[in-house]
Structure 1
Amino acid sequence: MRPALLFTAIVLSAMPGAAPAQEASAQDALAPFAACAKIAGDRERHRCLDAALRSTGIIDEKQAEARRQENFGRTPAQVEARSESAVPPAPVAPDPSRTAAAEPTRTADPERQPLQATVASARLIGRDRMVVRTAEAGEWASVERETFRRTPRAGDPFEIIPGSLGGYRCRIERTTLFACRRID
């Protein structure tokens, strides 16, 4: 048995109410995971498995979105270091009302979507550098010399746009666009 299917079988067998009479329903529950296991590409297979886990209710959508927003702009090493020091979340029982089959998703990568935030504070460093602390997405600093028309105020809209090669562009009030990086 493949590791993904074995893991899923163990998770499903540990669920309350699992009994021999439910073997047929367990096979039906494993079907989306089996379909995902056949996908050759790592990224597509991961997306498919995520969709299967979400459809069974094992992954809480609100927690996943909060984690994505909290880690936006961090490198994988920074995310891993933060998660090692955190207490792991309690397991969530699957929602039996969500039984849709998982299909490989072909949507845009959520990590590549712009993040809308709000300025909590901002300060100029010299005449041509700025550091902006957001209420939702940490602290961001400009990486190139840039002339800023004004320092943003608390409550101003702030957008972080993923760029190519792992870079980011920050936008203040839909007018000022500059290269930036997360510094917290």
Structure 2
Amino acid sequence: MQSPAEVAAPTHRRPLQPKNFDSIPSVWIHPKPKPIAFRCPPTTGVGAGKESRPISLPELGTMAGLRDASLSEELVAARRRRERLRAERERTEEALRERYAAMRRWAVELEKWAEEQRNLELELRLLIELRDLQSSSTISSPVQSLREKERQRSTEVKLQMSPVQSVREKEQQKIVEAQLQRGE
């Protein structure tokens, strides 16, 4: 029984081939012909059927003209390529500068947000501590405060007083309340 790796493996490798022939420039389909100076002249005679033929050297004047033309074409192509690369580099640098500025703005906003979150967290902790403190202070403690003790004593003393004194106290209290109402 074969493993899945063996089944999936191709039996031989094929070179990449273009799928859409319309998108390929005609330069790729038809290679540039060799200059006339480098072509082998047809030979006739004894060695006509042999593969290795002697190459005749073209005249120096035509060769120099071809060299100058090809060098000037290469120079123009190199200049164009250099200009294109320079323009691409400038576009890339500009895009990187824009991204860097956007990242800096984002970092500043993130720092502000983090600071706001820290402040909110501190406020929340303070509120929780205040609530805990308030709830702990409302719990009655087993130890009575001095005020509470004095109130209890005063109520005990009032209960022990005669009914005549309590009536006098009520009258005095009414007088004080009346004075307070007139003053307001």
Please, what TM-score do these two structures have when normalized by structure 1? 0.17
Q: Report the structure, 1 or 2, having the larger strand content.
A: 1
Asked which structure has the greater RCO (Cα within 8 Å, sep 6+), the reply is 1
Name the structure where helix makes up a greater proportion of residues.
2
Which structure would you say has the larger Rg? 2
